[in-house]
Chain A
Amino acid sequence: MSNVKWPLFEVFIRSKLAHVHAGSLHAADLDMAMTNARDVYTRRNEGVSIWVIPSDQIFAWNFDGETILAERVYEHPQITRKSEEQKEAEQWEVFFRTKQGLSHKHVGSISMNTASKVIAEAIQIYGDSLKITNVWVVPSAKINASDPAESESFYDPAEDKLFRHATFYDLPDEVKHM
C-alpha cells in the first residue's frame, strides 16, 4: 500500500431533518473529500445534503470531573493546531451523541468564543431534554456543505439501484439501530 498521509475528514449526511455523522474518509484536500463523500457514503441513497468537515476542526467534550474541557478529535498529519484558541465570538454548530454506538446528530448553533464554552452552554441548554453521552462542536465557518445544484448528480442515481442494498439479510429483532 502507500505511505500517503492524507488528512481525515468527517462526513455528515442529512436524509430527513438533521445532519447525522456517517463516518470519515481520507482525502488529499477538501474538494476531493467533497467528491469522495458521494462514493463512500451515499451509494445507497442515504441523504440529500452532505457536510464535510476537516476532522482536526472538531472539538469533543472532555469532562475531567470538575471543568468541561474541549479537545480536538484528531491531529492533522502536517499541521499542528493549538489546543484551544481564544478569539472573537463566532457561531458554532453543535452535535450530540445520545447513546454509545449511535452517531452524532446535529442539534443547533451557539455563539461563543471558545470550544469549551460552547460545549458547556450546549449541555446547559439541551441537557435536560436530551440524554447526552458525547458532544462535538465545530465553528460553522469550517463546515463545507454539498452544493444543492449538484444534488441530482450526487443522490438520484442511487434511488433505483436496489442491488446495492443488503436486501436478503434478515436482522434479528434485538438489533434496533442499523
Chain B
Amino acid sequence: MNKSLLNYTLRIADNNLILGHRLSEWCGHGPILEQDIALTNIALDLVGQARNYFQLAAEIKGGGATEDDFAYLRDVYDFQNVLLTEQPNGHFGETITRQFFFDVFNYYFTQALTKSTNSQLAAIAEKSLKEITYHLRFSSEWMIRLGDGTEESHAKMQQAVDDLWMFTGEAFQADALDLEMVENGVGVKLEEIKPYFDQKVTDILDQATLSLPEGNWMQKGGKQGKHSEHLGFILAELQFLQRAYPGAKW
C-alpha cells in the first residue's frame, strides 16, 4: 500500500468532508431561504467530492477498507484537514469569508491536480473543478456585496477577514509529504499556485473595499493531525451514529 499516496488523498478528502459538514450546520438556519439552499447545496457538493476521494483512498488502502471507515472511524489526530475548514460558522459573513478563502485555494489547487500523473486523482479533480468554479463565483459575489455594503456589513466583514486570514497560509506550506508527491508528479506545486491565490484574493477584496491584516504569521498543524479544539466537537456529531451503533445499516 502506498502510504504517501493514501495520506495525500486523505488530506484532500478531509478538507472537503469537514468544510462540507460545517456548511451543513446551516441547514434550516440560513438568513433567507435561497441562501439556506445555496449553502447546503455547496455542502452537498463538497461531501460528494469527499466521497470520491475517500473511495479512492479505500482502494489504495485495500484490505476491505471503505469510504465510511475513513469518515466515521478515525479520531481527531488522524484527520489531515487544514485548520481553516474546522473554524466555526459564526455569522453569515464569517461563513462566506471562510468559504471564499477556501474556494480560491481549492480552485487553483484542483485545477493543478487535473494534471497529476495519478490518473484517478486527475479524474476526480476534473469532475470537481466544475463545482468549485461555481463555489468561487458564489463566495466572491458575496464578499463584494457584504464588503462594499452597509457600514455594518463592511465592519463585520473586515473583522472576519482579520480573524481568518491567519488560517490561509497552512494550505500553501509544503511539508515533506507535499514535496515527495511533487517529486513523483502526483502532487501540486504549492509555490506555483500561491501567486494566483494572492492575485484573486487581492482582486476580490479590492472590489469589496476590504483590506488584509498586517503581518504574515500563519496558523498550522491541521495537515499533521494537530487540530484546534473545534474538530473534536465536529467529529462527535459527525461520527456519533457510527460509533454508538457500529456497522449500522438501513
- Partner-B contacts on A (CB < 8 A): 1-2, 4, 6, 25-29, 31-32, 35-36, 38-40, 43, 152-154, 156-157, 161, 164
Which interface residue of B31, B41, B48 has the most chain A CB atoms within 10 A? B41
Task: Specify which chain A residues have a CB less than 8 angstroms from the CB of B33 in the assembled complex.
Answer: 26
Question: Would A153 and B133 be within 8 Å (CB), given that A32-B145, A35-B138, A35-B141 are in contact?
Answer: yes
Chain B 23-52 near chain A by CB (<8 Å), digits 1 or 0: 000000001111101100110110010000
- A153 contacts which chain B residues (CB < 8 A)? 130-131, 133-134, 137
Whether A32 contacts B141 by the Cβ 8 Å rule is: yes
Could you list 18 examples of A-B contacts with CB < 8 Å?
Answer: A1-B32, A25-B34, A26-B33, A27-B34, A29-B145, A35-B141, A36-B34, A39-B34, A39-B37, A39-B42, A40-B34, A40-B38, A152-B133, A153-B137, A157-B45, A157-B48, A157-B130, A161-B44
Tell me whether A38 and B134 are in contact in the complex, defined as CB-CB below 8 angstroms, given that A32-B141, A161-B48 are known contacts: yes
| Contact, CB under 8 Å: B130 / A31 | no
- Tell me how far the C-beta of B93 lies from the nearest C-beta in chain A, rounded to whole angstroms: 13
The residues of A that contact B45 with a CB separation of less than 8 Å are: 157
B23 to chain A: closest CB distance in Å? 12
CB-CB < 8 A to B35: which residues of A? 36
CB-CB under 8 A from B127, the residues of chain A are: 157
In the complex, which of the residues B32, B137, B141 contacts A26, with contact meaning CB atoms closer than 8 Å? Answer: B32
Also in contact, A28 and B145, with CB within 8 A (given A39-B34, A154-B134, A157-B130): yes
CA–CA, A3 and B45, complex, Å: 30
User: How far, in Å, is B214 (CB) from chain A's closest CB?
Assistant: 32
Give the CA-CA distance A128 to B137 in the complex, in Å. Answer: 46
Hey, which chain B residues are within 8 Å of A6, CB to CB? 32
Residue of A nearest to B144 (CB): A31
Report the tally of A-B residue pairs with Cβ distances under 8 A: 53
Tell me which residues from 80 to 108 in chain B have a Cβ below 8 Å from any Cβ of chain A: none
User: How many B residues face the partner with a CB closer than 8 A?
Assistant: 21
Instruction: Please give me the residue from chain A that is nearest to B135 by CB atom.
Output: A153
Interface of chain B residues 133 through 177 with chain A (CB within 8 A): 133-134, 137-138, 141, 145
Q: A156 to B33, alpha carbons, bound, how many Å?
A: 24
Nearest opposing residue in chain A for B142, CB measure: A32
Contacts of A157 in B (CB 8 A): 45, 48, 127, 130-131, 134
Are the C-beta atoms of A152 and B130 separated by less than 8 Å? Answer: yes
Most chain B CB within a 10 A radius of its CB, from A28, A31, A39, A152:
A39
Q: A157-B48, A161-B48 are in contact. List 12 more A-B contacts (CB 8 A).
A: A2-B32, A31-B141, A35-B38, A36-B34, A36-B38, A39-B34, A153-B131, A153-B137, A157-B130, A157-B131, A157-B134, A164-B44
